[in-house]
Chains A and B, each alone.
Chain A
Amino acid sequence: MKVGVVTFPGSLDDVDAQRAVRIGGHEAVALWHGDHDLHGVDAVVLPGGFSYGDYLRCGAISRFSPVMTEVIEAAGKGMPVLGICNGFQILCESHLLPGALIRNDHRKFACRDQRLSIDNVATPWTASYTQGQEVTIVLKNGEGGFVADTETLDRLEGEGQVVARYVGDNPNGSMRAIAGVTNERGNVVGLMPHPEHAVEDLTGAGTDGLGFFTSLAAAAFA
């Protein structure tokens, strides 16, 4: 599959995400935030970083960049979209995902190997995992606290829209230890930890993150 990775001004992990896409068996297509079309990609990754310097709010300005108009339209038609960290923030600001991400409750930047449980394997980004599987992937954020009102949290849990949860210590004060969520349709996923940094033994805590990129193929042929 052709997987687009958007570079915003301030993106940091776009090249890592492209690499993870390739290791996952797909063709990576570099997309620019000023693009007005998606160059025929089958899926899109919004990478981590500090788009537009995180000014105003994380992801708030990126949400209005030209490429996001295309991404929002394609997501509405069912295209798989994965937002990682800053990408997750952009998806929340775009209202493609519910809730918002605020500054960590302990007010420190968190950087660690994080245990997660994968609680929804019915998305195109998690189909390679088994329900409830525990994985370790890197987490690094300053504003990773997931918040939503009680009604939204109940709905997310009731409808199985919680994709991943923190296991052990909650690294950023996220409500109900939510690390990732999906939309009602299940094609858009936001995740605070960084699976693209856990795809090779040489450079990380293992390869537990690779499933996020191999899942696309499993989902396509399921």
Chain B
Amino acid sequence: MPKVVVDVMPKPEILDPQGKAVLGALPRLGFDGVTDVRQGKRFELEVAGEVTDEVLARVHEMAATLLSNPVIENFTVHVDEAVADTPDVLS
């Protein structure tokens, strides 16, 4: 099944308390050298049939309407070919 991935990230100027909490935990665990963490969301949409430009346009619309809030978040859309082609190693 082809997969379309929507990545949603808080806008750079918006405070990200989740990212801040992770950033605070890293050095406590001995992971030094990280200066910032931003936490976002990833949506994997399985679509029926081929991923045409029309399908991608609809996904953009979904992302702008429901999956992200344009006031506080940015999003990107891409097709995940690797996921679609890789055999499931766990099965």
Contacts and interface: CB of A to CB of B under 8 A. Distances in A.
Task: Determine the main DSSP class of A at the interface with B.
Answer: loop
Contacts, number: 37
B66 A104 contact: no
Interface residues of B, number: 13
B17 A107 contact: yes
Contact of B15 (A60, A64, A145): A145
B58 interface: no
Interface stretch (A22-30, A65-73, A95-103): A95-103
B83 interface: no
Nearest to A64: B66
A105 B72 CA distance: 15
A169 B67 CA distance: 33
B18 interface: yes
B42 interface: no
A107 B20 contact: yes
A145 B21 CA distance: 16
22 contacts: A56-B66, A56-B67, A57-B69, A60-B66, A61-B66, A64-B66, A92-B71, A93-B69, A99-B71, A100-B72, A102-B10, A102-B14, A103-B17, A105-B15, A106-B17, A107-B18, A107-B20, A145-B15, A147-B71, A147-B72, A149-B13, A173-B15
